[in-house]
Amino acid sequence: MSIELRNVAWSVGFKKIIEDVSLAIEPGEFLGLIGPNGSGKTSMMSVLAGIRPPSGGQALLNGSAMKKVGRRNLARKIGFVEQQADTIDRITVREAVSLGRTPYLSVLSPWSTRDDAIVDDALCAVDMAAMADRMWQTLSGGEKQRVHIARALAQEPTYLLLDEPTNHLDIRHQLGLLELVGRLPLTVVAALHDLNHAAMFCDRIAMMAKGRLIAVGRPVEILTPENLRDVFGVSASVDVDDKGRCVIRFQTSITTLSDIKEGRVA
């Protein structure tokens, strides 16, 4: 059981967005996808989710090409939460989560009590059961994100794919959300902006730059001062604690106001 990319390329018109990416997702892991803006993280997520067919190479689910597996079957295996999916429709939290049952429903197999139970479980898993009847528009950013995850969980997936799930959340909700996702008994792939979060929560990190996958490995192997300098263009020191977890301290060359006040700069 795995998602695998083999020499995948994806382009818009003549512009190559991602190029020659090979990556195998291991069952049960939490894989973080990092890289500077425009490095192709979002495109990579949609190729992994099977939404965009690669223009070169192969995207495989359990050994067979995603295209052959079919949209509906993919949706039963892979839950995908986009970066910013919003709606102007007036729907309740429960209705939004119920959408996750779409790949299992058809005219011949209509909504059943089992679907109700699965939606209830999904709501509980993200701690939103008490807000099931709230309108979508009244939710905060963090709540909306949890509802999206519940919708993906209602698909009963093996894989959960998240594209920058912590965008626009305050720090408490960022950590809360990542903890929640980490606790789920699923294989998780998340594109993450905050490198310290990637260090804290991920089993493995895949690093992208200019549309290419340049390194995959444990956080300590990837988050090195050299990589941070070469790929992200920042200078930083990395502390590794006795459990092998790393914390990044970013250094700045920007002059601060207090430097000027206290006469440290001319």
Partner 1 sequence: MGLVRSGVIGRISAGGLALMLLLAVLAFAASVGETAIPVPTVIDTIANHLWDAGNAVNAIDAGIIWNYRLSRAVVAAACGAALAVSGAVLQALLRNSLADPYLLGISAGASTGAVSVVILGLGAGMLGLSLGAFLGALAAFAFVTLLAWQAGRGTSAIILAGVAGSQMFNALTAYIVTKSASAEQARGIMFWLLGNLSGVRWSDAWLALPVVVVGLVVCLWHARALDAFTFGRDSAASLGVPVRRVYVVLIATSALMTAVMVSIVGSIGFVGLVIPHAARFFVGNNHGVLLPLSAVIGALFMVGADVLSRVIVPGQVLPIGVITALIGAPAFALILCHGRVLR
Helix (H, G, I), strand (E, B) or coil at 73: helix
DSSP result, 214-261: EEEE-HHHHS-HHHIIIII--EEEEEE-TTS-EEEEEE--SPPHHHHH
> Shortest gap between Cβ of 115 and partner 1 (angstroms)?
10
Closest to partner 1 by CB, 33 or 49: 49
Distance CA 120, CA 26 (A): 29
Q: How many CB atoms lie within 10 A of CB 252?
A: 9
> Shortest gap between Cβ of 243 and partner 1 (angstroms)?
36
The contact set with partner 1 (CB under 8 A) reads 46, 49, 51, 71-76, 78-80, 82, 85-92, 94-96, 98-100, 102-103, 105-107, 111, 148, 155
Closest to partner 1 by CB, 72 or 229: 72
Give 46's Cβ-side CA count (13 Å radius).
Answer: 15
Closest to partner 1 by CB, 88 or 266: 88
Give 161's Cβ-side CA count (13 Å radius).
Answer: 22
Closest to partner 1 by CB, 17 or 207: 17
> Shortest gap between Cβ of 250 and partner 1 (angstroms)?
33
Closest to partner 1 by CB, 46 or 224: 46
Q: How many CB atoms lie within 10 A of CB 171?
A: 10
> Shortest gap between Cβ of 173 and partner 1 (angstroms)?
20
> Shortest gap between Cβ of 97 and partner 1 (angstroms)?
11
Sign of CA dihedral 183, 49, 165, 131: negative
What stretches of 109-186 adopt beta strand conformation (E)? 159-163
Closest to partner 1 by CB, 40 or 79: 79
> Shortest gap between Cβ of 150 and partner 1 (angstroms)?
13
Residue whose pair of structure tokens reads 């209509």 in the numeric block: 110
